[in-house]
């Protein structure tokens, strides 16, 4: 008998704080996944600043949480309008919220976003709070996209690595068997480069990697950056966005600092090879960092096997995380695992998420 298929929306507000990714997929929560649509709703600079101010859990978190929730409601409506759909046609929303604090070692992770408020605003059932159950059981609570990567990858040749370069970068390694999954945060993605470029030039990011392309890598500084216990530590492991926030690059010209931070991201991803069960045959890259030509060229040179954006397979590299939370919401409703020992270090496959009825 065919399994029920759910038309589901996934909402992700990533560590880059650029805005809300909203994806629409049809899935059975098992091996069938069909991306249907995607919209991106950018945050206004003033809201971005308010969000940045509550990172770490200080300030008026409650007010920002309400605002974040309402902006997600707007993102849902924009997605529905773009596809000429009504709330009634949607089975479920997976609402990640925005991570303001991630401290799995203290069994604490905090995604702001009010699931009940979003369910009431949209009239659609909502699953949110995807990470708490995992950290309560001793897992890292991240990354959670690996089971979606596995569903999407279907029969693609193994071993395969899927690399997300967002604010933080994370890898999913897929071997032959269904439990043959290893995943972890590799280190910084774009966040350090974004913060540098914003403070020096006012731009949100290094478009195409053009600033880094005009600079020279400071190899002494790069070696010091890589001399961090995180990179030697075996998985499971995950990072807070601001793990490297106190980096002092005051002596560097902007292009040299950008080149060095870009090389830091490349080298820290290459260090992931030390912790994978076998070298991947190829790396498929998603997330905004795949638009940075210096980053992509560096990865191709360092990893020694083909490195290509996921878009070549017909996947939308900007949408995968949001799609993943739609998929995980369905799995939550079905009581299926969201994480495995190989993905978050949780002792046994574990489900998660909290449900809020919309009607």
Ligand X SMILES: Nc1ncnc2c1ncn2[C@@H]1O[C@H](COP(=O)(O)OP(=O)(O)OP(=O)(O)O)[C@@H](O)[C@H]1O
Ligand Y SMILES: CC(=O)N[C@H]1[C@@H]2OC[C@@H](O2)[C@@H](O)[C@@H]1O[C@H](C)C(=O)O
Point out which residues bind ligand Y (CB under 6 A).
14-15, 99, 102, 109, 142-145, 166-168, 170, 185, 238, 321
Of ligand Y, ligand X, none, which one sits near residue 208, judging by CB under 5 to 8 A according to partner kind? ligand X
Q: How far is the CB of 190 from ligand X (least distance, A)?
A: 3
Q: How far is the CB of 236 from ligand X (least distance, A)?
A: 17
Is 16 or 172 the residue whose CB approaches ligand X more closely?
16
| Of 252, 242, 227, the residue nearest 195 (C-alpha) | 242
Q: How far is the CB of 1 from ligand Y (least distance, A)?
A: 32
Q: How far is the CB of 87 from ligand X (least distance, A)?
A: 25
| Dihedrals phi, psi of 93, to nearest 5 degrees | -120, 135
Is 124 or 163 the residue whose CB approaches ligand Y more closely?
163
Give long-range contacts, CB 8 A cutoff, 24+ apart: 113-117: 113/13, 113/65, 113/68, 113/69, 113/72, 114/65, 114/66, 114/69, 115/354, 115/356, 116/356, 117/66, 117/69, 117/70
- Distance CA(269)–CA(340), nearest Å, equals 22
Is 41 or 172 the residue whose CB approaches ligand Y more closely?
172
Of ligand Y, ligand X, none, which one sits near residue 185, judging by CB under 5 to 8 A according to partner kind? ligand Y
CB of 208 within 8 A of CB of 292?
yes
Q: How far is the CB of 311 from ligand Y (least distance, A)?
A: 18
Q: How far is the CB of 320 from ligand X (least distance, A)?
A: 9
Of ligand Y, ligand X, none, which one sits near residue 69, judging by CB under 5 to 8 A according to partner kind? none
Residues interacting with ligand X, by CB under 6 A? 14-16, 18, 164, 166-168, 189-190, 194, 205-209, 287-289, 291-292, 321
Is 119 or 307 the residue whose CB approaches ligand X more closely?
307
Q: How far is the CB of 319 from ligand X (least distance, A)?
A: 10
Integer Rg of the chain from CA: 19
Of ligand X, ligand Y, none, which one sits near residue 190, judging by CB under 5 to 8 A according to partner kind? ligand X
Is 166 or 288 the residue whose CB approaches ligand Y more closely?
166
Of ligand X, ligand Y, none, which one sits near residue 194, judging by CB under 5 to 8 A according to partner kind? ligand X
Is 35 or 358 the residue whose CB approaches ligand X more closely?
35
Of ligand Y, ligand X, none, which one sits near residue 100, judging by CB under 5 to 8 A according to partner kind? none
Q: How far is the CB of 98 from ligand Y (least distance, A)?
A: 8
Of ligand Y, ligand X, none, which one sits near residue 292, judging by CB under 5 to 8 A according to partner kind? ligand X
Enumerate residues 6+ apart whose C-beta is below 8 A from 244: 188, 192, 225
Is 57 or 357 the residue whose CB approaches ligand X more closely?
57
Of ligand X, ligand Y, none, which one sits near residue 143, judging by CB under 5 to 8 A according to partner kind? ligand Y
Is 66 or 316 the residue whose CB approaches ligand X more closely?
316
């Amino acid at each position: 008998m065919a399994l029920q298929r759910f038309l589901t929306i996934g909402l992700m507000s990533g560590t880059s704080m650029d805005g809300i990714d909203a994806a629409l997929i049809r899935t059975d929560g098992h091996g069938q996944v069909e991306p249907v649509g995607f919209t991106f709703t950018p945050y206004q600079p003033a809201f971005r600043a308010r969000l940045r101010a509550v990172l770490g859990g200080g300030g008026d978190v409650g007010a920002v949480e309400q605002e974040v929730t309402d902006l997600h409601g707007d993102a849902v409506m924009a997605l529905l309008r773009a596809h000429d759909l009504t709330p009634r046609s949607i089975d479920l929303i997976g609402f990640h919220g925005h991570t303001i604090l991630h401290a799995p070692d203290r069994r604490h992770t905090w995604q702001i976003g009010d699931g009940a408020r979003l369910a009431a605003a949209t009239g659609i059932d909502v699953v949110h709070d995807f990470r708490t159950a995992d950290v309560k059981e001793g897992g890292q609570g991240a990354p959670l996209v690996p089971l979606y990567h596995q569903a999407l990858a279907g029969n693609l040749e193994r071993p395969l690595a899927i690399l997300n370069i967002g604010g933080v970068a994370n890898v999913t390694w897929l071997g032959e068997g269904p439990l043959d999954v290893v995943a972890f945060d590799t280190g910084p993605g774009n966040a350090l480069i974004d913060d540098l470029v914003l403070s020096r030039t006012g731009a949100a990011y290094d478009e195409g990697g053009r600033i880094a392309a005009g600079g020279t890598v400071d190899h002494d500084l790069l070696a010091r950056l890589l001399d961090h216990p995180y990179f030697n530590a075996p998985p499971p492991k995950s990072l807070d966005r601001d793990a490297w926030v106190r980096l002092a690059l005051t002596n560097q010209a902007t292009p040299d600092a950008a080149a060095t931070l870009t090389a830091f991201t490349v080298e820290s991803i290459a260090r992931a090879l030390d912790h994978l069960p076998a070298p991947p045959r190829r790396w498929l890259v998603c997330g905004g960092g795949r638009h940075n030509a210096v980053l992509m060229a560096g990865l191709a040179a360092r990893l020694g096997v083909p490195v290509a954006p996921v878009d070549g397979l017909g996947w939308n590299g900007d949408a995968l995380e949001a799609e993943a939370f739609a998929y995980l919401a369905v799995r939550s409703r079905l009581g299926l695992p969201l994480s495995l020992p190989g993905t978050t270090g949780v002792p046994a496959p574990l489900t998660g998420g909290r449900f809020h009825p919309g009607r």
